[in-house]
């Protein structure tokens, strides 16, 4: 008989998922995944499906970072600087979404799905830009704290 106090790995993962989605970063990443899926559906339904590559790539990257941060693998795998990697992911995602969305909205006459994907892409671009801003502020605050501690050590 199993001890009722023991938790299965699946339940542990579900608890980590529930607790991570309640954090600010978890909400942002979940929103990025969701809006990328919506954009992917819109672009897939349009006459020009080539714009879906941006949505696919950004959705997969957001899922990977969501999984890494949720399972706290960023603390175990020290080889990669995860904060800077996440900053570049979000910054590049914001730029790519804004560029492709403007192209789709401007040149999408007669293709409603392409225009809808472009509008959702503009929203996603703003969401990714907000994510970039929050990551940048996190980096800036940690740099100020480390700079203050090293200045105290020298005196």
Helix (H) or strand (E) holding 39: helix 24-45
- Does any domain span residue 11? no
- pLDDT tens string 10-29: 678 888 888 999 999 999 99
- Does any domain span residue 58? yes
Q: 3-class DSSP state for residue 81?
A: coil
What sign for the dihedral angle of Cα 150, 153, 154, 155? positive
- Does any domain span residue 143? yes
Report the C-alpha gap between 126 and 116 in whole angstroms: 16
Q: How much is the pTM?
A: 0.84
Query: How confident is the model at residue 48, as a pLDDT?
Result: 81
Query: How confident is the model at residue 4, as a pLDDT?
Result: 54
- Does any domain span residue 154? no
- Does any domain span residue 2? no
pLDDT at 1 over 50: no
State which residues form the domain around 138.
25-147
- Does any domain span residue 18? no
- Does any domain span residue 69? yes
Q: How many domains does the chain have?
A: 1
């Amino acid at each position: 008989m199993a001890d009722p106090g023991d938790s299965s790995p699946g339940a542990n993962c579900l608890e980590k998922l529930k607790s991570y989605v309640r954090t600010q970063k978890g909400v942002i990443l979940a929103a990025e995944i969701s809006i990328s899926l919506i954009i992917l559906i819109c672009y897939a339904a349009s006459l020009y499906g080539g714009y879906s590559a941006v949505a696919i790539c950004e959705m997969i990257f957001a899922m990977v970072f969501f999984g890494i941060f949720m399972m706290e693998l960023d603390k175990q795998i020290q080889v990669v600087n995860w904060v800077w990697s996440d900053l570049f992911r979000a910054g590049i995602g914001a730029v790519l979404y804004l560029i492709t969305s403007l192209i789709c909205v401007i040149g999408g006459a007669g293709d409603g799905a392409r225009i809808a994907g472009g509008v959702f892409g503009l929203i996603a671009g703003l969401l990714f830009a907000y994510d970039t801003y929050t990551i940048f502020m996190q980096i800036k605050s940690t740099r100020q704290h480390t700079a203050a501690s090293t200045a105290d050590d020298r005196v």
